[in-house]
Amino acid sequence: MHLAQRALRRAASTATVALLAVAVGCAPQPEEKASDKPSGSGAQACAKGELDTEVSGKLTIATDEPAYEPWFKDGKPLNGKGFESAVAYAVAKQLGYDKGDVVWQSVPFNKAFAPGEKTFDFDINQVSISDERKKAVDFSSGYYDVRQAVIALKDSKAAKAKSIADLKGVKLGAQVGTTSLDYINDVVKPTEQPAAYAKNDQAKSALKNGQVDAIVVDLPTAFYITAAEVTDARIVGQFENQGGTPEQFGLVLDKGSALTSCVTDAVDALREDGTLAAVEKQWLSDAVDAPVLK
């Protein structure tokens, strides 16, 4: 009899301990914000260099590794070279953080959107803004209008395509998690299932090896690949924007982050004073136009 009692006692004590743990777990956390809307921007909220950042007095910016050209140069976001690196430092300056106060962090694409504590203030990684994604994270306003382009080896039949219809019978490929893949599935609707690669590197190899006839990437990347990496490939053409709204890259922040409005204001200011246009001209100047596929 007393054996059972002891077991019961033990169970009860375990339950008590666990319930205590629950009670502690329920304690509200200061970082959590119930509101879906970013807090209203006041002059106070965006005091220069005094934002409520991860590490106080520093601005922690995340991007994936490896960091690709032409967005970053030599795979080093720190050097301020490459379009996104330059944009990141311009935003930091606008927010009142010097070059020395910017800390870079390498965060894989997928991990940047996982719920839970964020270790960075914002992420810059060629992430296209979409309403669906806005349910999971906050975006700043767009800092670059992006177009998607098709690349094929010069001697392939895909290189002769003049319209979207010409691409229907072609084996296409793109990186997973990109709008490039959405363009293939929603705009081209090819007869053969498109190949989906974890990284653009693998998509490039597959193109070189003839495992796919053509790949879809964003236009600046397409120019870089055809100019420097797969020189026997050429840009077949670019897609028109879906639904008439330009696709834009935005900075990614935690859902309900207190910084969203300040970062958005900074991006807007940089667009208005021409900084974004100048940076774009400097780093993406060869991204002139390619023929539009209708």
Residues in contact with another protein by the rule CB under 8 A: 4, 7-8, 11, 14-15, 18-19, 21-22, 25-29, 32, 109-110, 113-116, 130, 132-133, 135-137, 173, 176-178, 181-182, 193, 195-198, 202-203, 205-206, 208-212, 255
* Residue 120 near residue 105 (C-beta atoms within 8 A): yes
Q: Closer to another protein by CB, 144 or 197: give it.
A: 197
Please say whether the beta carbons of 170 and 254 come within 8 A.
no
DSSP secondary structure of 63-125: E-SSPPTTTSSTT-GGG--SHHHHHHHHHHHHTT--GGGEEEEE--TGGGGSSS--SSSEE-S
Q: Which of 137/287 has CB closer to another protein?
A: 137
CB 172 within 8 A of CB 213: yes
Residue 212 Cβ vs another protein, minimum distance, rounded to whole Å: 7
The candidate with the shortest Cα–Cα distance to 126, out of 114, 117, 139, is 139
Q: Which of 27, 24, 28 is nearest to 16 (CA)?
A: 24
Q: Which is nearer to another protein, 6 or 76 (CB)?
A: 6
Nearer to another protein (CB atom), residue 24 or residue 288: 24
* Segment 135-138 long-range contacts (CB within 8 Å, at least 24 positions apart): 136/255, 137/112, 137/113, 137/252, 137/253, 137/254, 137/255, 138/38, 138/252, 138/253, 138/254, 138/255, 138/256, 138/257, 138/260
Cα 289 to Cα 34: distance, rounded to the nearest angstrom:
44
Report the alpha-carbon distance of residue 267 to residue 250 in Å, rounded.
9
What minimum distance in Å lies between the beta carbon of 252 and another protein? Answer: 9
| Beta carbon nearer to another protein, 94 or 175 | 175
CB of 209 vs another protein, minimal distance in Å = 4
Is 154 or 162 the residue whose CB approaches another protein more closely? 154
For the bound state, the minimum distance from the C-beta of residue 28 to another protein, rounded and expressed in Å, comes to 7
Give min distance, CB of 110 to another protein, in A: 7
Kindly give the pairing relationship between strand 233-239 and strand 122-123: unpaired
Q: How far apart are CA 284 and CA 53, in angstroms?
A: 30
Other C-beta atoms within 10 Å of 240: how many?
A: 13
Kindly state the smallest distance separating residue 215's Cβ from another protein, in Å.
10
Comparing CB distances to another protein, the nearer of 23 and 288 is 23
CB of 247 to another protein, least distance (A): 13
Q: Which is nearer to another protein, 58 or 113 (CB)?
A: 113
Shortest distance, position 144 Cβ to another protein, whole Å: 19
